[in-house]
A and B are shown apart, each in its own frame.
Chain A
């Protein structure tokens, strides 16, 4: 009991000794360190992905005891070919995030298909990756927000120009849905855009900006 109290007292002393300036300095170092680390990781991951895209399909081998149930699938993600062994209950979203390493398909509504933030383009259709089984994606051509950004699609600049987001969490879902619309309809009206983006939710409420951004991107695409 007394030992515990001693420790508490020591802790309090330490905290009181810690000046505000020292705290900020230390915290700054930590944050700086994190940023550098994640940047290094990101560039490494990108290099790996490009390698995958250019060469033969990458392969993961099943390691768990349940691997006998896994089915082999081969799919194209953002131009790169991938081969995986998947469990029947894996969703496409799980596969993209946990195996391929693409974090743009978000989870918001908990996997009931209500928010649109996990949208990816599959064979030209905007689909919800949380309600698509990975096992059924054999031979599918998938495009995510990362792939759209990589091709420097005008929709990205247009979204920035029109400030069509605040926190940005729903943005990958909006961008993929909008890209799928532009692929089919190169000259959409604002009403068409509202209709197509009707299944994407944005809790910051930047709905007004999306039709303007997408119509503007369509214009930029036509001039290209």
Chain B
């Protein structure tokens, strides 16, 4: 087994302390550790972090509570706790299901929700051990997946030349549920949270830390659902996943793993909004969702377009 290279480990006592360490230099956040430690072991990043700031030593960061018309989830709440929570299962079905379908049971026991929404992409050129591909996301000039092996890559084009996809399962659920992500500096709409900032996938600044996820309680009559296609049922990253919240003349549908960031299907929402949910209306919405989809050079990811259409359809049917 490749050993993890040396680094300095600091137990932060407060968010401010953690932020000041992040601001000072080449440091990285350590929460659940399931993504960053793997990335460090295989040295996939251009800069090996000199310092890891442990957030688990900060008190009161792990909670699920409903107050003020919203669900508040602490940034360090483990995915398994969210999946098992009765409150989340009852009213925020898409989020509970998304947390349940993330990774493997062990990773859900260790991984946190904030880590899940801030994880690195799974593009195999990006993640090849020893940082062998100097790709655009790492500050290079070329996207190797664009003309290379891209069967799992974006079907909605490139962002800044990169065709990697966001691999999070909880991200589309948060967008569909119209959640807000609170950091130590501001509160961001889930829809605006992701962007390609190299090499991470969020718009967070270097010393910005997610502190809480806020999900407004859906009005009565609104239902949400989440569906995921992966090669293996219990352990894999999504090939395509989709979350939807529909009812009472409202519709929010979000695909993920199809684009650089979670892809909100505005066209599909327009088709299904206010209509009764049945096989044909869901199918029409699915067709609308992929109107702008296009394959990458080589057509290797053409299958994902068909998948995306079906995922949207089934997510809508799940809200019936």
**Whole-angstrom CA separation of A130 from B3 in the bound complex:** 10
Interface of A is mostly: mixed
- Say yes or no: A116 contacts B6, CB within 8 Å: no
Decide yes or no whether B37 CB sits under 8 A from chain A. Answer: yes
B40 to chain A, nearest CB (A): 8
Q: Are A131 and B110 in contact (CB under 8 A)?
A: yes
Whole-angstrom distance between the alpha carbons of A107 and B1 in the complex?
Answer: 7
Is the Cβ of A126 less than 8 Å from the Cβ of B9? Answer: no
Smallest CB–CB gap between B104 and chain A, Å?
A: 3
Query: Quick check: B9 and A88 within 8 Å, CB to CB?
Result: yes
- Stretch touching chain B among A7-15, A20-28, A145-153, A195-203: A195-203
Interface string of A102-142 (1 = CB under 8 A from B): 00000100111110100100000111101111011000000
| Residue pair B2, A198 in contact (C-beta under 8 Å) | no
Is the CB–CB distance between A177 and B234 below 8 Å? no
Assuming the A-B contacts A112-B41, A195-B105, A199-B104, are A132 and B110 also in contact, with contact meaning beta carbons closer than 8 angstroms in the complex?
A: yes
B189 at the interface (CB under 8 A from A): no
A87 CA to B233 CA in the complex, in Å? Answer: 37
Knowing A125-B109, A177-B106, A198-B105 touch, does A133 contact B41 (C-beta < 8 A)? no
Task: Say whether, besides A89-B7, A113-B34, A199-B234, A130 and B1 are in contact (CB < 8 Å).
Answer: yes
Complex Cα distance A116/B33, Å?
15
Q: Please, which residue of chain B has its CB at the minimum distance from the CB of A97? A: B1
A207 and B80 alpha carbons, distance in the complex (Å): 23
**Nearest CB of B to A114, in Å:** 7
Is B42 part of the binding interface, using a Cβ–Cβ cutoff of 8 Å?
Answer: yes
Interface flag for A76 (CB, 8 Å): no
Q: Answer yes or no: B235 CB below 8 A from chain A CBs.
A: yes
Contacts of B104 in A (CB 8 A): 113-114, 116, 198-199
User: Does A158 touch B at the CB level, under 8 Å?
Assistant: no
Q: Is the CB of A113 within 8 A of B5?
A: no
User: For the complex, is A91 an interface residue (Cβ under 8 Å from B)?
Assistant: yes
- The CA-CA distance from A110 to B4 in the complex, in Å, is 11
Q: Is B319 an interface residue (CB 8 A)?
A: no
Residue B38 at the chain A interface, CB threshold 8 Å = yes
8 Å CB interface, B221-269 against A: 233-235
Q: Which of A171-197 contact B (CB under 8 A)?
A: 177, 194-197
Q: Which residue on B lies nearest to A91, using beta carbons?
A: B4
Determine if A131 and B105 form an interchain contact, defined as CB atoms under 8 angstroms apart: no
Residue of B34, B103, B106 with most partner-chain A CB within 10 A = B106
B107 contacts the other chain (Cβ, under 8 Å)? yes
CB distance from A35 to the nearest CB of B (A): 28
- Of chain B, the residue at the smallest CB distance from A125 is B109
Taken together as a complex, chains A and B put the C-alpha atoms of A88 and B233 apart, in Å, by 35
- B47-65 CB contact bits vs A (8 Å, 1 = yes)? 0000010101000000000
Q: A110-B2, A133-B37 are in contact. Are A128 and B106 (CB under 8 A)?
A: yes
CB closest chain-A residue, reference B78: A125
Report Cα–Cα, A154/B235, bound state, in Å.
27
Interface string of A67-93 (1 = CB under 8 A from B): 001010000000000000001110100
Name the CB-closest residue of A to B57. A136
Chain A positions within 8 Å of B109 at CB level: 125-127
Please determine whether A128 and B110 come into contact, CB atoms closer than 8 angstroms.
yes
Q: Which residue of B lies closest to A86 (CB)?
A: B9
Cβ of A94 < 8 Å from any Cβ of B? yes
Q: How large is the interface on A (under 10, 10 to 19, 20 to 34, 35 or more residues)?
A: 20 to 34
B67 at the interface (CB under 8 A from A): no
Contact among B7, B8, B34, B235 for A198, CB-based, below 8 A: B235
The 8 A CB mask of B18-60 against A (1 = contact, 0 = none) is 0000000000001001100110011000000000101010000
Asked whether A131 lies within 8 Å of B34 as measured between CB atoms, the reply is yes
Instruction: Say how far B28's CB is from chain A's closest CB, in angstroms.
Output: 13
A125–B52 alpha-carbon span in the complex (Å): 23
Residue of A nearest to B107 (CB): A113
**Docked-complex contact A112 and B106, CB < 8 angstroms:** no
Inside 8 A of B1's CB, which chain A residues have their CB?
Answer: 107, 110-111, 130
The reply to whether B234 and A131 contact each other, CB–CB distance below 8 Å, is: no
The distance in angstroms between the C-alpha atoms of A194 and B234, with both chains bound, is 9
Contact A199 B235 (CB under 8 A): yes
Q: A127-B110, A128-B110, A198-B105 are in contact. Are A135 and B9 (CB under 8 A)?
A: yes
Please determine whether B38 and A113 come into contact, CB atoms closer than 8 angstroms. Answer: yes
Known A107-B1, A133-B37: A199·B56 in contact at CB below 8 Å: no
Identity of the chain B residue whose Cβ is nearest the Cβ of A66 in the assembled complex: B6
Set B33, B34, B105: member contacting A196, Cβ < 8 A: B105
Q: A113-B34, A133-B9, A199-B235 are in contact. Are A127 and B106 (CB under 8 A)?
A: yes
A-B contact pairs, 6 of them (CB 8 A): A89-B3, A133-B37, A177-B106, A196-B105, A199-B105, A199-B234
For the complex with contacts A111-B41, A113-B107, A116-B106, 6 further pairs of A-B residues with Cβ separation under 8 Å are A111-B1, A114-B235, A126-B105, A127-B106, A131-B38, A199-B105
Give 8 closest A-B pairs by Cβ, nearest first.
A199-B104, A198-B234, A88-B9, A125-B109, A89-B4, A107-B1, A112-B38, A199-B106
